[in-house]
Structure 1
Amino acid sequence: MEPSKMYNLVQSRYSELASRSFTEHTAVAENVAKAFGYRPSELRSIPPNANMGLSCGNPVAVANLQAGEVVIDLGSGGGMDVLLAAQKVGPTGKAIGVDMTRNMIELARENAKKANAYNAVFLESAITSIPLPDATADCVISNCVVNLVPTAEKPRAFREMFRLLKPGGRLAMTDILVWKPLPDGMAMDLSLYVGCIAGASRVQEYEEYLRNAGFEQVMIVDCQKDLNIYKEVFVDQDEASCGCCQSGAGGSLKSGQSIAERAEVNLNEWAGSFEIYALKS
């Protein structure tokens, strides 16, 4: 599928997520967040619908953010990590969220107001071309987003991270990576794509992207989390009649239950949740 079509698919899915009611989705989202390292106290400190159940880790917890720093979150969604980062960098710092989906940006801005996070700002932009000056940030974070970037565009995303960091700046991300090439049935499963697995890179590829962009001291760590927690999300999405995950969306899914929902499919066999660290010298 062409990159433009993949971007449209992702935007459609995440726009729908941003617009829906979170009354019933909150419990699922909380389960996912806790499974990937968020503390209950962190979740209580932000508006409930800032957590959308889309995480594969907790980058703020490992980014070692300091008061006064500028941090950029790539693919900021409902604003969860930006709001948590804003708490860390304090009033003399700034937390900047970047997301290409307008409904997500609007939701995140509403959540920032509710949280009185005046040092949090949100930009509507693709993460491959961000309207910010070179050397803006001390730290770049991202949470399960780069896997949504089409393969042909992934190098651009990493070059943009490098450009935005100050000399001596650091990258602290969480993402889904695959152990081995996915079979065609899984690779073409749209619910697995918007669920951050079908578009994931292999570990070696990810390291090459980082080094080719100019990063040094690259470290990629398997967090050994259970990805099958995502099956709760897939089922919850279908109950909400997610249009992009149904038959006919892009022509890649057959009617009926998606691969992602089948009990016999062990997602951990194919993919894992990783923490990614790197430095710009």
Structure 2
Amino acid sequence: MDSAETYANVKDHYAEIARCTAVADHAEDYQEKVATAFGYKLEDLRSLPRNANLGVGCGNPLATANVEKGETVIDLGCGGGIDVLLAASKVGLGGKAVGVDMTKDMLDLARRNAEKAGLSNVSFIEASITSIPLDSSVADCIISNCVGNLVPELDKPLVFREMFRLLKPGGRIAISDILAKKAFPSEVKENISLYVGCVAGASEVRDYERYLKDAGFEGVLIFNTNSDLNVYKEMLQAEQPKYNGSPSRPQSQNSSCSCCNAGSCCSLQKGEFQGRAESILKLNFNNWAGSFRVYAIKPKFEIEPAIAPSKE
């Protein structure tokens, strides 16, 4: 896939998830299962509107963000709002939380959730996280949850440069993301379902570190939480297309979610996952990738380049 096709697949997939909010009780149970497996407290999850947590994260970036009252926090790829709403509660009325997402349906859902939560210090921007229409040096902290892996490889450096631009001097990033421990087998890397499911597009740890340092960050910390990625298999099993007598058309192509068993819809898979499901689900994802926490700081002062002494 080229970059345009990758973005289109990701956008369509998450738009469908956002429209699929009238889910059954067992889907809500699955969403809580995923979120608690990756470090959220049940009391925090249940303090939010029901569909703020869609079960598509891979960590809890706020666990290492050390957000304080009065700060400005930007959430890249805010989805239904789980992290940006929690951040808004932490920064208080004197602070601001800004959610950025490229998917209109997700932003519509996040705005509804912010209204239900009664939060007036949160706002949203529809944009790609490689280019965000905000002034430079406006954020104290930038968070992101399982989003960097969805960006095409060639564009990943742009994300970290944009984070660096948006942060105030001394600002920090706190990211949860799926990172690869080693090169993926072709059956994983080429599977569109695993790409939009946050696995196949994961960068290797050494590349992630390079992106951060090349952007200008210091104090880079990247560590594996050792969370069990196989929790995603329940969702992947639910996303196998169910056909209605035709190999080329899924049973459902609308937002009714009649083909879904978990919190996300399956109508976008169009058979790519169907033919490989058995072999994919036999893989132990933990052997290939992990849920990592990433922390880094923008230097407080720009380092002036050394000036060679005059020969005069």
Question: Do the aligned partners of residues 66 and 181 (structure 1) sit closer, same or farther apart at CA in structure 2, a change above 3 Å counting?
Answer: same
TM-score computed with the length of structure 2 as normaliser: 0.86
Counterpart AA for 1:5: E
Question: Do the aligned partners of residues 260 and 277 (structure 1) sit closer, same or farther apart at CA in structure 2, a change above 3 Å counting?
Answer: farther
> Alpha-carbon deviations, 1:86-117, whole Å to 9, x = none?
11100000000000000000000000000001
- Which of residues 256, 260, 266 in structure 1 aligns to 2:275? 256
CA distance in 2, matches of 1:44, 1:261: 33
> Alpha-carbon deviations, 1:58-100, whole Å to 9, x = none?
0112100000000000000000000000111000000000000
Alpha-carbon shift at residue 261 of structure 1 (Å): 5.5
Matching residue of 1:20: 20
Matching residue of 1:204: 206
Alpha-carbon shift at residue 223 of structure 1 (Å): 0.3
Matching residue of 1:269: 287
Alpha-carbon shift at residue 23 of structure 1 (Å): 2.5
The question of whether the paired residues in 1 share the 8 Å contact of 2:173 and 2:296 is answered with: yes
Matching residue of 1:242: 266
Pairing 1:34-45 to 2, within 5 Å after superposition: 34-45=36-47
Alpha-carbon shift at residue 209 of structure 1 (Å): 0.2
Alpha-carbon shift at residue 260 of structure 1 (Å): 7.7
Question: Do the aligned partners of residues 109 and 228 (structure 1) sit closer, same or farther apart at CA in structure 2, a change above 3 Å counting?
Answer: same
Q: Specify every segment of 5 or more residues in structure 2 that has no aligned partner in the other structure, as ranges.
A: 241-258, 300-312
CA distance in 2, matches of 1:206, 1:19: 32
CA distance in 1, matches of 2:223, 2:294: 6
- Which of residues 121, 124, 127 in structure 2 aligns to 1:125? 127
Matching residue of 1:250: none
Instruction: State the Cα RMSD in Å.
Output: 1.3
TM-score computed with the length of structure 1 as normaliser: 0.95
1:279 equivalent to 2:291? Answer no
- Which of residues 68, 71, 77 in structure 2 aligns to 1:69? 71
Matching residue of 2:116: 114
Q: Which has the larger radius of gyration?
A: 2
Matching residue of 1:177: 179
Question: Do the aligned partners of residues 43 and 105 (structure 1) sit closer, same or farther apart at CA in structure 2, a change above 3 Å counting?
Answer: same
The question of whether the paired residues in 2 share the 8 Å contact of 1:71 and 1:137 is answered with: yes
CA distance in 1, matches of 2:199, 2:221: 21
Alpha-carbon shift at residue 183 of structure 1 (Å): 1.1
Alpha-carbon shift at residue 243 of structure 1 (Å): 2.6
SS of 2:133's partner is coil
Alignment identity in percent? 52
CA distance in 2, matches of 1:256, 1:186: 13
Alpha-carbon shift at residue 259 of structure 1 (Å): 5.7
Question: Do the aligned partners of residues 254 and 82 (structure 1) sit closer, same or farther apart at CA in structure 2, a change above 3 Å counting?
Answer: closer
CA distance in 1, matches of 2:94, 2:39: 27
Question: Do the aligned partners of residues 66 and 260 (structure 1) sit closer, same or farther apart at CA in structure 2, a change above 3 Å counting?
Answer: farther
Q: Give the length in aligned residue pairs.
A: 275
Alpha-carbon shift at residue 27 of structure 1 (Å): 1.3
Alpha-carbon shift at residue 168 of structure 1 (Å): 0.4
CA distance in 2, matches of 1:118, 1:259: 47
Q: Specify every segment of 5 or more residues in structure 1 that has no aligned partner in the other structure, as ranges.
A: 248-252
Question: Do the aligned partners of residues 21 and 49 (structure 1) sit closer, same or farther apart at CA in structure 2, a change above 3 Å counting?
Answer: same
Alpha-carbon shift at residue 237 of structure 1 (Å): 3.3
Alpha-carbon shift at residue 244 of structure 1 (Å): 2.4
Matching residue of 1:7: 7
The question of whether the paired residues in 1 share the 8 Å contact of 2:74 and 2:142 is answered with: yes
